[in-house]
Amino acid sequence: MRVRDLDVVFLSYDEPRAEEFWQDLRAKCPWAKRVHGMKGFDRAHKTAASEATTDHFITIDADCLVDPGFFEITVDDALLTERTIVSWPGRNHVNGLVYGGGSIKCWPRAHVLAMRSHESAPPEARSVDFAYNTDVSQSDAPHPIDALVPFGEVFGNGSPLHAFRSGFRAGARLALADGTRPLRYGRTHDLTPLMLHWLLIWLSIGADAENGLWCVYGARLGCAKVSFEDWDYTAINDFDWFDQYWSEEIAPRFAGDATVCPRSGDRWNDGALADACAALGAELRDLAGLAVVDLDATQSAFFKSIYEPPRPLNSLDRMATMFRRGAGVGQDAIRAADYCAVAAAAGQTNAMHSLARAYQQGEGRPRSRARAVELWREASALGNRFAAYELGRLYRRGWGWGIAKDPARAQALLRLAGDRGFPAAHAELAEMYLAGEGGPVDRRRALFHLTLAGVGDPTLHERTAALRDELDPTSGAGPSA
């Protein structure tokens, strides 16, 4: 279907350049509609869906300047399903990232009207992102289009507040892993490689852009606040909270006349801002293990001039998941395995793990446990935690498949999976130490691994507490590994 045959809705709230970008959009897309001033992300998108008359509609955020070529493209009808959100990448003007943040999206109208996201999410969801926030069995998306070039440029830096808010929200969202706060424990491996890549760019790049240092400072503060404070991170959905936080705490902290924003007239002490930004960077390096760097304007501009964003191979894995589950498309195990095979050949280790499962279970591929083990070994060697866990379980139990029972090797692989941020591996290790597998019973080591396993499985907390009560609390803190 042609983009020209779909309704286009411009979403604006208080963005400093909203009027400028709205007029630009109307010149490129005369049929565009506008939803303005709706408080709340869920409410704004539902209003957009109500304004749309086509079964699928496109949203453009008010800080996105759209390439005119976008309105000449077509969308594969296979992607226009009842639950699939399609996302075209945009380039962030401040830090050069090309990804779904602030990008152009195509939504199924009925799905948006039914979803409960952001401020309307159920209490247990604590939702802050469309990627995992709908309660219609979770949406099958966003499914990114692997465009060679971005279709828009995102200017999240129209004023100091605007830049601070965009950075803060990104830093907070990207520091979360399915609602948990892994950086509190220095567990960068709990973030996907792509999320960690995006987070580090937000935390380091942008000093050359107008209000760019505000964006970097916001990202660092949002990341630190989520990671190190017991703070309700869903506040990032509330722009009233941001206004109050800005006016009462942030702006007064950097009051001064040294620097002025030509667009908004805001004034601040840039030296104090740079010092605070550097202090946060040091904190994130020391406490969270993040490779944050402090770059001046020239270094930041140079980085952006040579930076090439990673190709989003995860889209192939998402397509495999859709066909495996029959989510939005016809269930087809063979096509699911085919997508996994393409992504695996390109080096995507999660796809290697999924393909191994297909061979293990005989779904979409002839059953071959030997081939499954081969793929798990390759993926584990490349750093995949799931593959290391599967191999560890095989060596622990000696189920065959060309693998003999080997408790020492099982412990090494499970420890590797645990170190890469897979809590279930620590639960297996705890069981081994309690049962004396591979050595004498070691209840203190078991307690250590059971505690780590509880980070991902709260049902283990009671068992962990019981084991802790059985041990003498004065006999030592236990092993460090």
Label each residue of the chain as H, E or C.
CEHHHCEEEEEECCCCCHHHHHHHHHHHCCCCEEEECCCCHHHHHHHHHHHCCCCEEEEEECCEEECHHHHHCECCHHHCCCCCCEEEEEEECCCCCEEEEEEEEEEEHHHHHHCCCHHHCCCCCCCCCHHHCCCCCCCCCCEECCCCCCCEEECCCCCHHHHHHHHHHHHHHHCCECCECHHHHCCHHHCCHHHHHHHHHHHHCCCCCCCHHHHHHHHHHHHHHHHHCCCCHHHHHCHHHHHHHHHHHHHHHCCCCCEECCCCCCEECHHHHHHHHHHHHHHHHHHHCCCCCCCCHHHHHHHHHHCCCCCCCHHHHHHHHHHHHCCCCCCCHHHHHHHHHHHHHCCCHHHHHHHHHHHHHCCCCCCCHHHHHHHHHHHHHCCCHHHHHHHHHHHHHCCECCECCCHHHHHHHHHHHHHCCCHHHHHHHHHHHHHCCCCCCCHHHHHHHHHHHCCCCHHHHHHHHHHHHHCCCCCCCCCCC
Asked whether residue 429 is assigned to any structural domain, the reply reads no
Backbone φ and ψ for 344, nearest 5 degrees, come out as: -65, -40
Whether residues 258 and 143 fall in one domain: no
Return the C-alpha torsion angle 363, 365, 370, 371, nearest 10.
-120
Q: What is the CA radius of gyration of the chain?
A: 24
Q: Mind listing the pLDDT tens digit for each residue in 445-470?
A: 999 888 888 866 778 888 888 888 88
Whether residues 99 and 170 fall in one domain: no
Whether residues 133 and 11 fall in one domain: yes
Domain of residue 199: give its range.
160-306
Asked whether residue 197 is assigned to any structural domain, the reply reads yes
Whether residues 101 and 176 fall in one domain: no
Which of 262, 288, 306 is the last residue in one of the domains? 306
Whether residues 92 and 191 fall in one domain: no
Asked whether residue 392 is assigned to any structural domain, the reply reads no
The token pair at 448 is: 């250590």
Rounded mean pLDDT, 85-109 = 87
* pLDDT attached to residue 310: 62
Asked whether residue 300 is assigned to any structural domain, the reply reads yes
Whether residues 66 and 111 fall in one domain: yes
List, in sequence order, every residue forming a beta bridge with 8; answer none if it has no partner. 58
Backbone φ and ψ for 111, nearest 5 degrees, come out as: -65, -45
Residue 264 to residues 36, 170, 216, 259, Cα–Cα distance (Å): 20, 22, 19, 12
Which of 95, 130, 154 is the last residue in one of the domains? 154
Whether residues 148 and 175 fall in one domain: no
* pLDDT attached to residue 27: 95
Rounded mean pLDDT, 157-162 = 96
The span from the first CA to the last CA of the chain, in angstroms, equals 56
Whether residues 302 and 165 fall in one domain: yes
Whether residues 176 and 284 fall in one domain: yes
Q: Mind listing the pLDDT tens digit for each residue in 324-336?
A: 877 656 788 998 8
Which of 306, 327, 354 is the last residue in one of the domains? 306
Contact 418, 452 (CB under 8 A): yes
pLDDT band of residue 253 (cuts 50, 70, 90) is very high
Q: Mind listing the pLDDT tens digit for each residue in 177-230?
A: 867 888 888 888 778 777 888 999 999 999 999 999 999 999 999 999 999 998
pLDDT band of residue 109 (cuts 50, 70, 90) is very high
Whether residues 274 and 147 fall in one domain: no
Asked whether residue 421 is assigned to any structural domain, the reply reads no
- Minimal CA–CA distance to 384: which of 406, 337, 351? 351
Asked whether residue 167 is assigned to any structural domain, the reply reads yes
Rounded mean pLDDT, 57-77 = 89
Pairwise CA distance, residues 348 & 192, whole Å = 12
Task: State yes or no: cis peptide before 142, omega within 30 of 0.
Answer: yes
Calculate helix-pair angle for 349-361, 333-345, nearest 10 degrees.
Answer: 140
* pLDDT attached to residue 428: 92
* pLDDT attached to residue 134: 34
367 contact partners, CB below 8 Å, separation of at least 6: 359, 360, 361
Q: How many domains does the chain have?
A: 2
- pLDDT at residue 138 tops 50: no
Neighbours of 21 (CB within 10 A): 23
Whether residues 57 and 134 fall in one domain: yes
- pLDDT at residue 139 tops 60: no
The token pair at 198 is: 């995006």
Asked whether residue 415 is assigned to any structural domain, the reply reads no
Whether residues 176 and 85 fall in one domain: no
Asked whether residue 389 is assigned to any structural domain, the reply reads no
pLDDT band of residue 480 (cuts 50, 70, 90) is very low
Q: Mind listing the pLDDT tens digit for each residue in 239-250?
A: 899 999 999 999
Pairwise CA distance, residues 382 & 375, whole Å = 11
